[in-house]
């Protein structure tokens, strides 16, 4: 039986959930047909492979967790092959039925390892490695970070020294800090890797390059001689995954194992640049595109859990003696609903970014023929977008957890893996602060050149002429102005520090860096806003007016939240908004919270997450949260016996001594 | 060998670390002598009992974690007894050497269980239970929360129905939601509990009261007939602790087991109030006083880790090719140093609160003779203080984790337990939002009555006449004004909603609740500010001018952070500060960051945390972080064999099938 409060919520909503879900799916997977097909596969999968949680995952010790994750990961690969899934997004979306919000183990194999092989190989290498992978059971990973360096790529200390006598590269880890650290599944699982190392020929350094390196024997999985490697121990999450360390002790690999699409080393050791190095970024772009979508989906998961629970949970009687659903409380709405709005806007922003990227990829022969300006712009957006999407995901996941009170702290809430993934995501693939600074660097340069730094979605003119655009122009123009004012402020500050304070460029940069970060954050927010206008305009073509109204309300909430909360200090300080107007907008914001609250449950229903994907006692579709919570408790590992086995050993002697005193 | 960067930091600092540490200890434990004694005990303890981490705690599966935590907890009790430690704060401070930031299992026994027995018993009951505890091996817990109710005490459904025939209470859990849920160590460990339940006599309800209930046999530890109980399963932390559920099936307990200091049930079932019920709060007050101090200490731990690491870590070359310590980056200072300032201010605030409380306790015969107004004020402060201290602890612990980049995500960083404890602390002993609203309720009432709601530290007049006070008056008066303006704003809003919009009190309250929370937050910040002025003035009497300067810088940073960041929108919106002045203050804030940075390392050294208490690879005193990190990696459970045992089972077959394709 469905919880009566949820029944009522669903009845009272004005939303056509199925239609909105289709729009969501069509955006996610590019066509409604494909989406429906994938939904069917999801169902098939649940019948075929048990979910991690049905196999008692969380109660296992780490070795057993590893085994289970590995087993599932292999079964899931098989499932993917059987069903012709070769798109990683689709794959990841499907396997949520089994993995919940935990990670399968071959993430890097399908992403960084494959993408870098694809983008950085010469055509011959591409064919060679593709065949090699097919013929051998290869599990690949991507090895870049070292103990001493993550952010600063040029600081990597691992060397690849060319020996023209044998036509080999010699990989070496000369110091403690040069030991590779962190790469996913590199400790125990993978047998091959792309390794980033500093190329040295005849004592001359030629920058960082990518090498294909065998880590373990294909016969017996033993480490290749000269390679010392292992797991790095526990992390804040991913117990089932073996992030690893790798130490090279003069390991020789053939010359051909350097990926040479952009730079070439001839047999006798001549080094030649053969392409635009900047295209190295393409790999990062694609990776970030994927990660951003995952983060926005993850965000929608914690939102679903917290909103469902807030519609079920009742607490503290009103004067008539009735305890309201906690979602009725303003403080609760204030913490939940901007997160809901953001999970929608970030989803549409990342979907649009993916589309833009796909377009570029197509029109540029796999990123070979686009100009550096364009890729710099894309890179700037991707950096800031990755940072903001994970930042939002973390912030709201944490708020969502707090909004669930005590029960939100039970592992059964399913919120912890979301928080931890979001937290990790603020660091991996680029530390968020560093990423914002990269975006800012591009913005400053553009400002100097008088470039407009906006990256508009495709066909934006159409959006610009649309009703949606006109409707929101009063807000969007505010954000535009804020961005311009901020960019001016930071440019002027840099100028002041350099010209008046005689600082060098580097110090001026550092002394402006918080301002730079804020400018970048506002810039990506403008990108999020534009792309959402496009998506809203797309949606308006579906002629589902009732959903259009709700989506626009939600978008307005996002905008108002930006004005009265996120960026309020900037709006006020730069006098783009005065105190009185701010108060009016706050009032509007609170009114809007109430409106959005009416459809909140159905808005999370529209994401379409299944119970097995959410893996949450509090987020279940039928709202029977207390039953689930209590079931979870009863199944605790400790409850096998009435009296825990340690009683005799520890408690009893203590109680007895005490009794004798 | 100490890391050379740390050596230099320590040389360049102007701080007398030992003196400051003594001041810290004297504040913490009320006298320097006591502090020194306790430090000696800490050393003795490390030689006597191995730390959790030296026994491979984190790699154990849950049953073994429980066993280890229980064993340590019992050993620690013995150690405490041997060394005559009967103060829980001292005890907890000492055992950090063994437990790190993990919890021992008898927390509730020593706090809520003992305190409520002490405060809520009649004198006879007190003697009785004290003797009983001494003669038997009693492990107690405190059982209040149910599946359905935590925040709303009056909503508890567990009943205690009086049977005058047998002179017993019958405890019952009539519904699923009435099952007790969450109490620490109640699932498997404890044999007694204070249980909160709704008293019913002759079908008449008499509110919630406290009952001493036996949970498990003292002979064989089996659950008492009629009681179903067990562990609630995994949580986001505390794997070694058995938070439990408890279900009563008409369990009979003697009449005397109701704690009757404030209400009395006679043998024939007459109910009589015999004291001021409001004093029930005293227990909460003491508990929150303790928790607040723990939270501020916890905060200082994550600060220590992140600042030490930020002084060791170098990343990204400057134009001269040198990679600066990351603490040189403005963005890093911006995230780290306000957290450092806050860990100091929150520490002094909580210390002062504890002192105020002690004073009240003394002067009121254990809270019997204080008037309701005074306890209401204390309660308001304690609610808001608990909320803000945990909120800050969580926020900065999370920031500290991000500031440590990838390695901050290694379990060896020691940051996760801090984050998770802070997160839990935002919920347990009262949800933070609910607590702020309680503070606000008091503030509104005071405003209506024309009361000044400030609770000044003792002897504040002296502080008011001091140099320190005068020096900071320009800031403190701003906060005073902000508080007044906010209280006016929210009062007017309530008035407007009720009088103009015809809302009832309840709806007006809910529609103002975010504003109420903000007002409460500002109110406790004023309390924090005043108490810190007092502590700074105390410190000035030590005549250590060099430390005084640094502490005042740090306090100024706290104030400026409040103005330009935390409460900036309020200052601007209420036009207490205009845009230009705000820009000036921001400039000042950034300059101050650079000054504070000079002493940052020594400021965390002055907390005096030992390596075993920090349990962090990144926070080690000697700065050899990479060695520690790599040692941790090598000791990973997975690294027992070169090839993981699951290879044959899973990887090999897969690799071989693939090879055959
Ligand atoms: C879960 C997880 C999985 C990972 N998987 C992989 C993997 O598969 N393969 C791989 O190669 N690596 C992997 N990594 C490593 C990851 O890519 C790096 O940790 C990340 O790039 C951050 O670099 P860092 O650790 O050097 O951080 P640091 O650069 O040390 O950052 C520490 C602090 O310094 C600041 N900082 C650093 N430089 C600057 C600057 N120039 N200006 C201002 N501030 C600065 C940062 O903002 C941060 O606050 C993984 C990490 C994690 C946590
Ligand atoms: C680690 C841990 C240990 C614990 N240990 C114990 C223990 O030893 N003994 C024990 O008895 N209990 C224990 N608890 C339970 C704990 O005391 C409660 O979880 C806590 O009091 C919060 O209550 P709740 O769970 O009912 O939250 P809820 O009240 O359900 O809160 C959920 C949400 O509703 C909001 N909300 C609720 N009421 C209002 C309102 N009136 N106005 C505005 N918003 C509102 C809250 O802000 C929150 O966002 C523990 C909990 C945890 C997490």
Residue span of the structural domain in which B583 resides: 434-610
For Cα atoms A63, A66, A69, give the angle at the middle one, nearest 5 degrees.
150
Q: Report the pLDDT value the prediction gives residue B371, as an integer from 0 to 100.
A: 78
Number of domains in chain B: 2
Beta bridge partners of B168: B163, B254
From A176, A329, A637, residue closest to B627, measured CB to CB = A176
Q: Report the pLDDT value the prediction gives residue A659, as an integer from 0 to 100.
A: 61
CA of B379 to the centre of ligand 2 (A): 18
Mean pLDDT across chain B: 95
* Of A68, A446, A645, A128, nearest in space to B67 by CA: A645
Angle between helices B579-605 and B17-29 (to 10 degrees): 90
Mean pLDDT across chain A: 95
Structural contact between residues A51 and A102, judged by C-beta atoms closer than 8 angstroms: no
Mean pLDDT in residue range B462-479: 96
Query: How do residues B237-253 score in pLDDT, each as one tens digit?
Result: 999 999 999 999 999 99
Q: At residue B4, does pLDDT exceed 70?
A: yes
Q: Which tops the pLDDT comparison, A371 or A337?
A: A337
Hey, are the CB atoms on B572 and A573 less than 8 Å from each other? yes
Q: At residue B262, does pLDDT exceed 80?
A: yes
Residue ranges of A 418-477 with Cβ closer than 8 A to chain B: 423-424, 426-428, 431-433, 437
Angle between helices A579-605 and A17-29 (to 10 degrees): 90
Query: How do residues A59-88 score in pLDDT, each as one tens digit?
Result: 888 999 999 999 999 999 999 999 999 999
Q: Report the pLDDT value the prediction gives residue B281, as an integer from 0 to 100.
A: 82
A145 is in an annotated binding site: yes
Q: Are strands A168-172 and B168-172 parallel, antiparallel or unpaired?
A: unpaired
From A136, A629, A642, residue closest to B223, measured CB to CB = A642
Task: Choose one of A275, A301, A336: the last residue of a domain.
Answer: A275
**Cα(A96)–Cα(A98) distance, integer angstroms:** 5
Angle between helices A372-403 and A415-425 (to 10 degrees): 150
Query: How do residues A432-483 score in pLDDT, each as one tens digit?
Result: 999 999 999 999 999 888 776 677 777 789 999 999 999 999 999 999 999 9
A to B CB pairs, distance under 8 Å: 355
**Cα(A530)–Cα(A537) distance, integer angstroms:** 11
* Secondary structure, 3-state, A541-578: CCCCHHHHHHHHHHHHHHHHHHHHHHCHHHHHHCCCCC
Chain A residues lying within 8 Å of B567, measured CB to CB: none
Hey, are the CB atoms on B176 and A514 less than 8 Å from each other? no
Specify the residue for token string 């530890």. Answer: B221
Task: Tell me how crowded residue A101 is: count the other CB atoms within 10 A of its CB.
Answer: 23
Q: Report the pLDDT value the prediction gives residue A368, as an integer from 0 to 100.
A: 79
Task: Report residues whose beta carbon is within 6 angstroms of any ligand 1 atom.
Answer: A 108, 142-145, 149-151, 182-184, 243, 424, 427-428, 430-431, 433-434, 437; B 313, 315-316, 326, 329, 331-332, 402-403, 405-406, 409
Residue B544 domain-assigned (yes or no): yes
Query: How do residues A301-354 score in pLDDT, each as one tens digit?
Result: 999 999 999 999 999 999 999 999 999 999 999 999 999 999 999 999 999 999
A142 membership: H or E segment, kind and range: strand A140-143
Q: Are strands A168-172 and A271-273 parallel, antiparallel or unpaired?
A: unpaired
Q: Report the pLDDT value the prediction gives residue A387, as an integer from 0 to 100.
A: 98
**Cα(A107)–Cα(A184) distance, integer angstroms:** 8
Catalytic residue among B429, B543, B575, B627: B429
Structural contact between residues A572 and A563, judged by C-beta atoms closer than 8 angstroms: no
**Dihedral class, residue B381 (left if φ above 0, else alpha if ψ from -120 to 50, else beta):** alpha
**Cα(B38)–Cα(B85) distance, integer angstroms:** 9
**Tokens at B39, concatenated:** 């430090």
CA of A405 to the centre of ligand 2 (A): 5
Which of B106, B151, B177 for a ligand 2 pocket mutation test, highest count of atoms within 8 Å of Cβ?
A: B151
A562 is in an annotated binding site: no
Beta bridge partners of B265: B271
ipTM of the assembly?
0.98
**Tokens at A399, concatenated:** 């708020």
**Cα(A661)–Cα(B491) distance, integer angstroms:** 60
Query: How do residues A354-365 score in pLDDT, each as one tens digit?
Result: 999 999 999 888
**Cα(A350)–Cα(B276) distance, integer angstroms:** 59
Residue A642 domain-assigned (yes or no): no
Q: Residue A278 — very low, low, confident or very high, per pLDDT cuts 50/70/90? A: confident
Lowest mean pLDDT: which of B74-83, B386-395, B446-455?
B446-455
* Of B575, B519, B485, B486, nearest in space to A572 by CA: B575
Burial B289-307 (b: 16+ CB within 10 A, else e): bbbbbbbbbbbbbbbbbbb
Hey, are the CB atoms on B583 and A568 less than 8 Å from each other? no
Structural contact between residues B625 and B421, judged by C-beta atoms closer than 8 angstroms: no
Length of chain B: 661
Write down the H helix ranges in B13-122. Answer: 17-29, 32-48, 62-82, 88-99, 107-108, 114-120
Hey, are the CB atoms on A136 and B655 less than 8 Å from each other? yes
Q: Residue B508 — very low, low, confident or very high, per pLDDT cuts 50/70/90? A: very high
Residue B656 known to be catalytic: no
**Tokens at A258, concatenated:** 């350097």
Task: Report residues whose beta carbon is within 6 angstroms of any ligand 2 atom.
Answer: A 313, 315-316, 326, 329, 331-332, 402-403, 405-407, 409; B 108, 142-145, 149-151, 182-184, 243, 424, 427-428, 430-431, 433-434, 437
pTM: 0.98
The torsion of the CA quartet A43, A45, A46, A52, rounded to 10 degrees, works out to -140
Q: At residue A276, does pLDDT exceed 90?
A: no
Residue ranges at the known binding site of B for FAD: 145, 184
Task: Choose one of A275, A307, A339: the last residue of a domain.
Answer: A275
Task: Tell me how crowded residue A316 is: count the other CB atoms within 10 A of its CB.
Answer: 16
**Tokens at A645, concatenated:** 């086995």
Structural contact between residues B558 and B338, judged by C-beta atoms closer than 8 angstroms: yes
Lowest mean pLDDT: which of A193-197, A627-631, B561-565, B647-651?
B647-651
Residue A85 domain-assigned (yes or no): no
Phi and psi at A168, nearest 5°, equal -130, 160
**What CATH number does residue A570 fall under?**
1.20.140.10
Query: How do residues B7-22 score in pLDDT, each as one tens digit?
Result: 999 999 999 999 999 9
Residue B236 domain-assigned (yes or no): yes
The torsion of the CA quartet A204, A207, A212, A217, rounded to 10 degrees, works out to 60
Hey, are the CB atoms on B137 and A316 less than 8 Å from each other? no
**Dihedral class, residue B84 (left if φ above 0, else alpha if ψ from -120 to 50, else beta):** left
Hey, are the CB atoms on B431 and A575 less than 8 Å from each other? no
Q: How far is CA A288 from CA A92, A284, A295, B320, in A?
A: 15, 6, 10, 31
**Cα(A72)–Cα(A57) distance, integer angstroms:** 11
Burial A443-467 (b: 16+ CB within 10 A, else e): bbebbeeeeebebbbeebeebbebe
**Cα(A391)–Cα(A376) distance, integer angstroms:** 22
Q: Residue B659 — very low, low, confident or very high, per pLDDT cuts 50/70/90? A: low
Q: At residue A660, does pLDDT exceed 60?
A: no
Q: Residue B227 — very low, low, confident or very high, per pLDDT cuts 50/70/90? A: very high
Beta bridge partners of A204: A201
Query: How do residues B274-302 score in pLDDT, each as one tens digit?
Result: 887 777 788 899 999 999 999 999 999 99
Q: Are strands A192-201 and A159-163 parallel, antiparallel or unpaired?
A: parallel
Phi and psi at B269, nearest 5°, equal 95, 20
Which of A323, A326, A339 for a ligand 2 pocket mutation test, highest count of atoms within 8 Å of Cβ?
A: A326
**Tokens at A360, concatenated:** 């570029």
**Cα(B400)–Cα(B604) distance, integer angstroms:** 13
Q: At residue A43, does pLDDT exceed 80?
A: yes
**Cα(A234)–Cα(A187) distance, integer angstroms:** 12
Q: At residue B661, does pLDDT exceed 60?
A: no
Query: How do residues A550-599 score in pLDDT, each as one tens digit?
Result: 999 999 999 999 999 999 999 999 999 999 999 999 999 999 999 999 99
Q: At residue A661, does pLDDT exceed 60?
A: no
Per-residue DSSP letter, A412: G
Mean pLDDT in residue range A119-138: 93
Angle between helices A513-540 and A432-449 (to 10 degrees): 90
Q: Residue whose CA is closest, atom 38 of ligand 1?
A: B315
* Of B184, B386, B416, nearest in space to A419 by CA: B416
Residue A75 domain-assigned (yes or no): no
**What CATH number does residue A172 fall under?**
2.40.110.10
Burial A189-227 (b: 16+ CB within 10 A, else e): bbbbbbbbbbbbbeeeebebbbbbbbbbeeeebebbeeb
Residue A552 domain-assigned (yes or no): yes
**Tokens at A154, concatenated:** 């040029």
Residue B652 domain-assigned (yes or no): no
Residue A270 domain-assigned (yes or no): yes
Q: How far is CA B226 from the centre of its chain?
A: 35
Q: Report the pLDDT value the prediction gives residue A335, as an integer from 0 to 100.
A: 98
Task: Choose one of A275, A308, A328: the last residue of a domain.
Answer: A275
């Amino acid at each position: 039986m469905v919880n009566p409060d949820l029944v009522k919520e669903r009845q009272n909503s004005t939303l056509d959930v199925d239609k909105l879900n289709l729009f969501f799916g069509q955006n996610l997977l590019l066509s409604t047909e494909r989406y429906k097909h994938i939904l069917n596969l999801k169902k098939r999968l649940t019948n075929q492979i048990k979910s991690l949680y049905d196999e008692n995952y969380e109660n296992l010790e780490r070795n057993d967790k590893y085994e289970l994750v590995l087993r599932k990961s292999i079964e899931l690969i098989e499932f993917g092959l059987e069903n012709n899934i070769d798109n990683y997004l689709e794959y990841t979306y499907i396997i949520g039925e089994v993995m919940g919000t935990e990670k399968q183990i071959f993430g890097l194999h399908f992403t960084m390892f494959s993408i870098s092989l694809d983008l950085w190989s010469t055509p011959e290498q591409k064919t060679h490695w593709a065949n090699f992978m097919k013929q051998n059971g290869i599990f690949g990973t991507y090895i870049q970070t070292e103990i001493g360096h993550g952010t600063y790529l040029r600081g990597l200390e691992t060397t690849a020294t060319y020996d023209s006598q044998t036509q080999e590269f010699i990989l070496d880890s000369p110091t403690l800090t040069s030991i590779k650290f962190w790469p996913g599944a590199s400790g125990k699982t993978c047998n091959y890797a792309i390794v980033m190392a500093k190329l040295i020929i005849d004592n001359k350094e030629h920058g960082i390059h990518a090498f294909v390196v065998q880590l373990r024997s294909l016969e017996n999985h033993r480490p290749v001689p000269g390679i010392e490697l292992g797991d790095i121990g526990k992390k804040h999450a991913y117990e089932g995954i073996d992030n690893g360390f790798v130490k090279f002790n003069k390991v020789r690999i053939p010359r051909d194992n350097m990926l040479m699409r952009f730079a070439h080393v001839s047999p006798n050791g001549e080094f030649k640049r053969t392409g635009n190095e900047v295209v190295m970024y393409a790999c990062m772009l694609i990776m970030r595109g994927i990660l951003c979508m995952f983060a926005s989906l993850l965000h929608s998961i914690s939102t679903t859990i917290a909103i469902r629970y807030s519609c079920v949970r009742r607490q503290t009687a009103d004067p008539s003696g009735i305890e309201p659903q906690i979602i009725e409380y303003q403080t609760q709405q204030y913490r939940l609903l901007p997160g809901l709005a953001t999970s929608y806007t970030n989803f549409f922003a990342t979907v649009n970014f993916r589309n833009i990227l796909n377009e570029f990829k197509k029109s540029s022969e796999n990123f070979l023929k686009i100009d550096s300006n364009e890729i710099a712009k894309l890179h700037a957006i991707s950096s800031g977008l990755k940072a903001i999407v994970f930042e939002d995901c973390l912030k709201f996941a944490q708020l969502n957890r707090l909004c669930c009170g005590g029960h939100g702290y039970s592992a059964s809430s399913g919120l912890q893996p979301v928080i931890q993934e979001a937290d990790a995501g603020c660091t991996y693939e680029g530390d968020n602060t560093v990423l914002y600074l990269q975006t800012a660097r591009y913005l400053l340069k553009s400002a100097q050149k008088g470039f407009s730094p906006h990256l508009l979605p495709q066909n934006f003119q159409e959006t610009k002429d649309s009703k949606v655009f006109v409707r929101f122009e009063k807000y969007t123009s505010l954000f535009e102005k804020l961005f311009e004012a901020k960019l001016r402020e930071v440019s002027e500050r840099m100028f002041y520090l350099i010209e008046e304070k005689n600082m060098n460029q580097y110090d001026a940069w550092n002394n402006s860096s918080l301002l730079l970060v804020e400018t970048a954050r506002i810039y990506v927010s403008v990108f999020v806003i534009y792309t959402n206008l496009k998506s809203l305009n797309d949606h308006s073509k579906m002629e589902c007016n009732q959903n259009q109204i709700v989506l626009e309300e939600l978008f307005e909430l996002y905008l108002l939240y930006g004005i009265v909360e996120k960026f309020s200090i900037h709006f006020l300080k730069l006098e783009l908004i005065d105190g009185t107007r701010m108060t009016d907008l706050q009032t509007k914001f609170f009114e809007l919270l109430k409106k959005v609250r009416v459809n909140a449950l159905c808005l999370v229903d529209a994401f379409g997450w299944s119970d097995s994907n959410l893996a949450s006692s509090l987020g279940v579709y039928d709202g029977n949260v207390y039953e689930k919570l209590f079931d979870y408790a009863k199944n605790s590992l400790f409850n096998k016996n009435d009296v825990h086995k340690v009683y005799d050993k520890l408690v009893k002697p203590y109680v007895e001594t005490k009794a004798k005193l």
